A = this chain, B = another copy of it.
Amino acid sequence: MEAKSYPEFSTRYPLLIKTLMDRPVRMYPNEIAVVYRSDAGQYFRFTWAQWHERTCRLAHALKALGVKPGKAGQPGDRIASMALNHHRHLELCYAVPCLGAVKHPINIRLSLDHIVYTITHAKDKIIFFDDSIMPLLERIYDRIKPTVEKFVYMSDKPGLPKTKIAPLYEYEALLKEHPPTFDWPYLDEDTYATLYYTTGTTGLPKGVMFTHRQIYLRTLHALAQGGLAVRPTAEGAPPRLGENAVNLVNTPLYHIHGWGVPFSHVFSATKIVFPGRFTPEAFCELVEKEKVTNAGVVPTMLAMLLEFKDLKKYDMSSLTNIGVGGGSLPLGLKTKAEKMMPGFTATSGYGMTETLAGGVGAFIKKTMLNWPKDKIDELRVKTGLPTGGLEVRVVDEHGKSVPQDNETVGEIVLRGPWIMGEYWQDPERTATTWRDGWFHTGDAAKVDPEGYITIVDRITDVIRSGAEMVPTVLLENLTAAADFVLEATYVGVPDEKWGERPMALVKLIPGTTPKETDVIKFLEAEGVEKGKITKWMLPTFVAFVDEIPKTSVGKFDKVAIRKRLDEFLAKAKQVRNV
């Protein structure tokens, strides 16, 4: 007998996305895996075996279309999707990377210029697109034609439309041409699997590639963390979740890996429910019909649900948890939601394109099981605690951890198995975020004595006064509470002694006639005296303005404000000497 060992199947067994598929298909071949409700209200249901068969057929089709795999350090062909959430999109999430190619889910909310830029920069070879996206694609077709070789049309209705887009293939027809089993290769675990682009609020979008190993490890860590999390008595005792959870996935799969859902929820064999475009009706109908237990939303969706007049008509009792990401979760919104949908809990979390999916979540410690509900609620709206296995710190400018006083502001830095390695083909911008062995998120945050992180600002918007950072979001919320203020924002004004000092831009409620010093009086009474802010944070300047510049998505446009700083400063009154 020839003596031989197999490190590739033991010590170096590769961590691959294909393994995530194996568990549900083996354990639950005949259970429903994916439910898709189209915008037209049509339902599609697939068992794990059926979904896997379709994924195998797709893999054959991709090979027939000429898709070439890559290897460690050298990406395979980039295969893009322009699609909403549905079973076909989930099939692409597996067939493309498990072949060794790179899946690039295009963010269809980007500007057309940025969409063209990402397609060109990624060198996408094939684009899979939804029928509803076709008008958008036709508008940019001439600009991407030199890059993209082939297009695949995905629709619930058979047949191909009349279009200039060519060569054009039909998704469902391709599947029918190929067999339902596929011998998934054992790739190198460092093979690239996905390519995502940042939204590019400042400058062009940046490309981020993730490997099989990274996606696999993030999935395992998230599931281990989820299994350990405790539920406080104050939140009631829901049925134990696990494999028998049902997840409604509103987060677009083209956004931060759909918060990791395509991978964690497949491995966990939970039923995945895709609602097409988010509407309160579809959300409530799906919760009732599919007995949804968990859902992920952005704060706006939660607010829309609460305003939905027919909410009470639906049985929402199966819903035990809503995870809120993509923006901070206001305590008032959480409280109101939990009152209207009894038995469920809204929880905050945090992630960005560069962190693959979430890495911080507002879960509760076992020492807090008997805390009163109001104290628990305060924690649930914080950004949260790091997932085990990820190193997360909040540091000052010298890389030193800030004290856990829930006040001192620093920047969130992190590192770990699923943090992006580099911006693709962009060493310069990589070097601005990866410094001294830590990935710098650009998010400013404070840490409480229990270790819970709260994001207070983008670090570029923080005002630096002396050695301290002024948390502008906190000041903005506080100032907006004054009964003469419609809205308010803060920027830094250069100062010889302090580096920067805060200036408030305030838009008044029509008909009110306060003086600039009234802003200070209000902040002293409601902020300083109640311990919410300290005296040095008070603005040196206050400017009453007709309009505060905003971005296209309605956020205060700090870049535009800083460009017009002299103009605003000329209008401002100096209200304090420091």
Contacts and interface: CB of A to CB of B under 8 A. Distances in A.
Interface of A: 1-7, 9-13, 15, 19, 22-23, 26-28, 31, 190, 211, 213-214, 217, 220-221, 223-224, 226-231, 237, 239-240, 242-244, 267-269, 365-367, 369, 385, 388-389, 391, 415-417, 419-422, 427-428, 430-432, 434, 437-439, 451
Contact of A231 (B3, B240, B388, B415): B240
Contact of A243 (B12, B228, B417): B228
Q: How many copies does the complex hold?
A: 2
Contacts of A223: 223-224, 227-228
Contacts of A7: 421
Instruction: Tell me which of A3, A224, A229, A428 has the highest count of chain B C-beta atoms within 10 A of its own C-beta.
Output: A224
Given A3-B428, A240-B230, A366-B243, A451 B416 contact: no
Nearest to A26: B451
Given A22-B388, A224-B267, A230-B244, 18 more contacts: A4-B431, A9-B419, A10-B417, A10-B421, A10-B439, A11-B213, A13-B415, A19-B389, A22-B391, A23-B388, A26-B451, A28-B365, A31-B366, A224-B224, A224-B268, A227-B227, A229-B243, A244-B366
A29 to B, nearest CB: 10
A493 B102 CA distance: 58
A416 B268 contact: no
A27 to B, nearest CB: 6
A434 B224 contact: no
Nearest to A222: B224
Contact of A415 (B10, B27, B268, B415): B10
A540 to B, nearest CB: 32
Contacts of A19: 389
Given A230-B244, A365-B28, A388-B267, A438 B9 contact: yes
B11 A367 contact: no
5 contacts: A6-B421, A13-B419, A27-B365, A220-B389, A267-B388
A434 B83 CA distance: 45
Given A3-B430, A4-B431, A419-B10, A268 B27 contact: no
Contact of A228 (B2, B268, B367): B268
Contacts of A239: 237
Contacts of A240: 230-231, 237, 240
Given A221-B220, A227-B227, A5 B430 contact: yes
A535 to B, nearest CB: 33
Nearest to A369: B244
A431 B26 contact: no
Contacts of A422: 5, 10
A434 B27 contact: no
A224 B389 CA distance: 13
Contact of A434 (B5, B242, B415, B432): B5
A15 B421 contact: no
Contacts of A388: 22-23, 267
Nearest to A242: B228
Contacts of A229: 242-243
A81 B242 CA distance: 38
Nearest to A386: B26
B437 A6 contact: yes
A323 B226 CA distance: 22
A217 B230 CA distance: 23
A27 B385 contact: yes
A228 B226 CA distance: 9
A431 B231 CA distance: 49
Given A26-B451, A366-B244, A427 B231 contact: no
Contacts of A213: 11
B434 A31 contact: no
Contacts of A22: 388, 391
A227 B230 contact: no
B365 A420 contact: no
A363 to B, nearest CB: 9
A364 to B, nearest CB: 9
A27 B451 contact: yes
Contacts of A268: 224, 228
Given A224-B224, A243-B365, A421 B451 contact: no
Contacts of A228: 223, 227, 242-243, 268-269
A366 B293 CA distance: 14
Contact of A421 (B3, B5, B27, B224): B5
Nearest to A243: B366
Contacts of A366: 28, 31, 242-244, 269
Contacts of A439: 9-10
A223 B430 CA distance: 34
A272 B420 CA distance: 35
Contact of A28 (B11, B231, B367, B437): B367
A217 B417 CA distance: 12
A269 to B, nearest CB: 8
